[in-house]
A = this chain, B = another copy of it.
Amino acid sequence: MTDQKIYRASTTAPVNIAVIKYWGKRDAKLNLPTNSSLSVTLAQNDLRTHTTASCSAKYPAEDVLVLNGAPQDVTGARTQACFRELRALRKDLESKDSSLPPLSSYPLKIVSENNFPTAAGLASSAAGFAALVRAIANLYELPSNPTDLSRIARQGSGSACRSLFGGYAAWEMGTKDDGSDSVAYEVAPASHWPEMRACILVVSAEKKGVSSTTGMQTTVATSTLFAERARDTVPKRMKEMTEAIQKKDFEAFARLTMKDSNSFHATCLDTEPPIFYLNDVSRAAITAVNAINQAAGKIIAAYTFDAGPNAVVYYLQKDEKEVAGAFKALLESKDGWAGERGAAVEVNSTGAANFDEKSAGALQNGISRVILTGVGEGPIKIDEHLIDENGEPVHK
């Protein structure tokens, strides 16, 4: 008699924004990086992927993945690697305990939803693959810890490995050819330094630039400055950044964050042909952050940019009025201030007055929405399933 049961498990997983950037692979198939990286995990109330993994002997033979209501291709090497590795771990358990249902042999059905607009251009693949791996691990009742799972999530999307942790997470590049030591770990939990905030300035949709997968490989192949970054600059900064977080030294954290973002984009520019992710709006955000710091007489805000023009500005809760308040004064008409966090930000017109006219104009014209968030927790197992008892997607 066939097992008729629908097995389900759900999780949410966070977005992370690196402060020491991942750029460059030493092994494209295994997603092994040319340097270690470090990120802040952002709160899931603001940005998260919710994923339900399910499996059943009753399901049609093909694995299925639905993201935001749209079926996704699961035949890609990256998704396949995650499925394969997780099934192998489950199979191990099954071979040791014959009472376990043979879930590893059942087709998977996975439904996933983001609580933020994909159009925002926020790197959602980190949260997506972290949620996928965590949900299947829950479904399979794997005893694996987050670092074990990070080795798998990394193969889905490099930076996904850091989204298996809350707070402050690092991805150790590792040295082994099989990638077994290229894993993520917790630098500090969110509770260690819970005052960290982030204000994301989303730049109005512009044509997607060079994909990060293609871009980083071109950088590795053509930039003469890149090797220096991977070899000397980042290892030194990883140590300094870890220390800054341990000591809760915001000035050190901020300087390193800004320098490393600039260093990463510098190697993009040194690529042949050059890769530009920063545009004049990004540049205006940098100028505005510099103006905020100058007015404060110390560093209270730090910008960082991923492979796109959106600015992520980190600051501490105590400086909210000086940082987010100044942006609110300038950008109050944009989407994003209505939520609890946004409404709590005090408008700071005096602060906005420090922005030069050109930068202020570029931000007003070029920013489409603002997302207020802060450091947050890692994946959370939840009982709200996106697949019902009959194995059908739940339409919310």
Q: Which of B272, B279, B286 is A262 in contact with, Cβ under 8 Å?
A: B272
Within 8 A of B (CB), among A194-221: 206-207
Residue in B closest to A286 when the chains form the complex, CB atoms: B274
| Bound CA span A272–B276, Å | 19
Q: Does A255 contact B (CB under 8 A)?
A: yes
Contact of B276 with A258 in the complex, beta carbons under 8 Å: no
Q: Does A317 contact B (CB under 8 A)?
A: no
Most chain B CB within 10 A, of A227, A274, A283, A290, is at A274
Identify which of A116-124, A241-249, A263-271, A384-392 touches chain B. Answer: A263-271
Interface size on A, residues (CB 8 A): 32
Q: Does A339 contact B (CB under 8 A)?
A: no
Residue in B closest to A357 when the chains form the complex, CB atoms: B207
Contacting residues, chain B, for A273 (C-beta < 8 A): 258, 286, 290
| Bound CA span A225–B228, Å | 6
Q: Does A233 contact B (CB under 8 A)?
A: yes
Contacting residues, chain B, for A383 (C-beta < 8 A): none
| Bound CA span A232–B222, Å | 14
Contacting residues, chain B, for A279 (C-beta < 8 A): 280, 283
| Bound CA span A282–B207, Å | 17
Contact of A272 with B286 in the complex, beta carbons under 8 Å: no
Q: Which of B207, B227, B259, B269 is A272 in contact with, Cβ under 8 Å?
A: B259
| Bound CA span A89–B308, Å | 57
Q: Does A224 contact B (CB under 8 A)?
A: yes
CB distance from A274 to the nearest CB of B (A): 5
| Bound CA span A262–B219, Å | 12
Contact of B263 with A270 in the complex, beta carbons under 8 Å: yes
Contacting residues, chain B, for A286 (C-beta < 8 A): 273-274, 276
| Bound CA span A280–B281, Å | 9
Q: Which of B266, B272, B283, B290 is A270 in contact with, Cβ under 8 Å?
A: B266
Residue in B closest to A281 when the chains form the complex, CB atoms: B280
Q: Does A176 contact B (CB under 8 A)?
A: no
| Bound CA span A276–B262, Å | 11
| Bound CA span A93–B267, Å | 52
CB distance from A365 to the nearest CB of B (A): 12
CB distance from A273 to the nearest CB of B (A): 6
Contact of A255 with B272 in the complex, beta carbons under 8 Å: yes
Q: Which of B267, B271, B274, B276 is A225 in contact with, Cβ under 8 Å?
A: B267
Q: Does A358 contact B (CB under 8 A)?
A: yes
Q: Which of B206, B227, B255, B266 is A266 in contact with, Cβ under 8 Å?
A: B266
CB distance from A276 to the nearest CB of B (A): 5
Q: Does A229 contact B (CB under 8 A)?
A: yes
Contact of B290 with A225 in the complex, beta carbons under 8 Å: no
CB distance from A357 to the nearest CB of B (A): 10
| Bound CA span A31–B158, Å | 45
Q: Given contact pairs A223-B266, A225-B228, enumerate 5 new A-B contacts (beta carbons under 8 Å).
A: A225-B263, A259-B270, A262-B274, A266-B269, A280-B280
